[in-house]
Amino acid sequence: MKILRSLSLGLLLPLAGCQIDNYTYETPYDEPWRVPEKGTVIELKQPLTFSPGSSRIYIQDGVISSRRGVNDYRPWCQFYLYESKEDMKHARTIQPDQFTVVRASQNVKYVQFKPVDVAAVGIGSPYMFAQGEVGAQTLATTMKLTSSKQPQVQELICATSDDARRQNFVSVNKIQATLGDIAELHLPLVQ
């Protein structure tokens, strides 16, 4: 019996350092690693006007903002247009429409402000963590969009700055809260 007890303890002790935080969420759409499923419809409820030379419109807390007006440490979203330089010379407006998500992904973008002494890759993690001081880490959820009426609207990116090791991406419910009354997510029924 003592052998069995010490064998069990000997197997469990090395795993104690690998403990994962147990978070509970009210709904699966509060989980930060969940992306809007393929087939999700983003219904734009009001026109959005893009300034000359700009291919992005930022939204935070349900309000349209300039890039300088966005607080990077709170969730924000941006609609992104793909168009010619000639089209960008003028103000453009996209009209209320329904955009279908054809693909969604998450990634971490590092903006380095100070030198990094040593970098290491964690086993079992797709992200590289730097030891030393680095700048903001943007955790972004990118949704590729399609619309037959307005094909130039091809992306909606929702992001926040945070410690990438926490993998605290903007959840589906936070995306909806960030868009406010400007746009609404219609999630497909998952069976």
Q: Is residue 95 part of a domain?
A: yes
Q: What pTM was computed for the model?
A: 0.75
Q: Is residue 157 part of a domain?
A: yes
Task: Inform me whether the pLDDT recorded for 15 exceeds 80.
Answer: no
Full domain range(s) for residue 142: 39-186
Residue 21 token pair: 């935080």
Taking the alpha carbons of 5, 8, 11, 13 in that order, is the dihedral positive or negative? negative
Q: Is residue 66 part of a domain?
A: yes
Percent of the chain's residues with pLDDT above 70: 73
Q: Is residue 33 part of a domain?
A: no
| 111, 112, 118, 127, 137 from 115: Cα distances, Å | 11, 7, 9, 18, 15
Residue 170 token pair: 């903007």
In the chain, the N- to C-terminal Cα span, in Å, equals: 48
pLDDT digits (tens, 9 = 90+) for 30-39: 898 899 999 9
Task: Inform me whether the pLDDT recorded for 8 exceeds 50.
Answer: no
User: Which residues are within 8 A (CB) of 113 and not within 5 positions of it... i.e. 6 or more apart?
Assistant: 133, 134, 135, 136
Task: Inform me whether the pLDDT recorded for 65 exceeds 50.
Answer: yes
Q: Helix-strand-coil percent breakdown of the chain, rounded to 5?
A: 20, 40, 45
Q: Is residue 29 part of a domain?
A: no
Q: Is residue 23 part of a domain?
A: no
Q: Is residue 34 part of a domain?
A: no
Predicted pLDDT at 11 = 45
Q: Which of 60-64, 160-164, 168-172, 177-181 has the lowest mean pLDDT?
A: 160-164
Task: Inform me whether the pLDDT recorded for 63 exceeds 90.
Answer: yes
Q: Is residue 24 part of a domain?
A: no
Q: Which of 25-39, 54-68, 124-138 has the lowest mean pLDDT?
A: 124-138
Mean per-residue pLDDT over the chain, rounded: 81
Question: What is the tally of structural domains in the chain?
Answer: 1
